[in-house]
Amino acid sequence: MKVDRIYRDNGASGKDTNRPALAELRADLNQIGVVIVYKFDRISRSVVDLYGLLEEFQACGVTFKSVSEGVDTGSAIGKFMMNILAGLAQMERELIGERTRDTLAHKRHLGEHCGRIPFGYRIGEDRRLVKDQNAQALIARMKRLHREGKSYREISRRVGVNYRTVCNLVRDNLGSRNRRYISKLVRTTGK
């Protein structure tokens, strides 16, 4: 087979069909005879989305082939195998989601921090958020500069902290999302 074009969505997840290169592929379907992928879950990990794409391919007379699974939708067996593999890919994605949610819930229950670390804090030895004294001093300096009439841009330039971060920190020290998280963490763990 001659490969005419490679459609590549670098860094995009197969769970989402709203990807630029996939949109280009779909727009070009009436010029394509076969769509070849290394693994079929590279095009979609959702059974519903995959069926939709396969129906779209079939309506345009396009065959779908997966190199690693040896699946070719040009035959009845190939279509059947595609259905089984698509179901397995979706199950795996959902299992990963369940395991991730369970792990994060367990960590939160233990009072451990999960996610982005708010400016002014760090992760302590017990995996909980603790104030970073150097960063807290920097926040105090930013607030003092602001009280002295310095603009957010000037403060950002002087202290070497991103402009948006300076705006959020000077206005309310943590930003509303971080402040809610910290207060929730304190109520839950009693610290």
Q: How far is CA 4 from CA 1, 29, 34, 61, 84, in A?
A: 9, 13, 10, 17, 29
Q: Which of 14-18, 80-84, 177-181 has the lowest mean pLDDT?
A: 177-181
pLDDT band at 175; cut points 50, 70, 90: very low
pLDDT at 54: 81
Tally of residues, the chain: 191
Domains and CATH numbers, the chain: 20-108 (3.40.50.1390), 111-189 (no CATH)
- What is the per-residue pLDDT for 188? 47
User: In this predicted model, what pLDDT tens digit does every residue of 140-154 receive, in sequence order?
Assistant: 999 999 999 999 999
**For residue 124, what are the β-bridge partners?**
none
Per-residue pLDDT tens digits for 78-100: 778 777 877 777 788 789 889 99
Please give the pLDDT value at position 172. Answer: 66
Lookup: tokens for 182: 């910290």
Mean per-residue pLDDT, 36-43: 81
Predicted local confidence at residue 89, as pLDDT: 73
Given a contact cutoff of 8 angstroms between Cβ atoms, the answer to whether 64 and 35 are in contact is: yes
Q: At 122, which helix (H) or strand (E)?
A: strand 121-123
pLDDT at 38: 85
Residue 129 has pLDDT above 50, yes or no: yes
Query: For 14-37, what is the mean pLDDT?
Result: 87
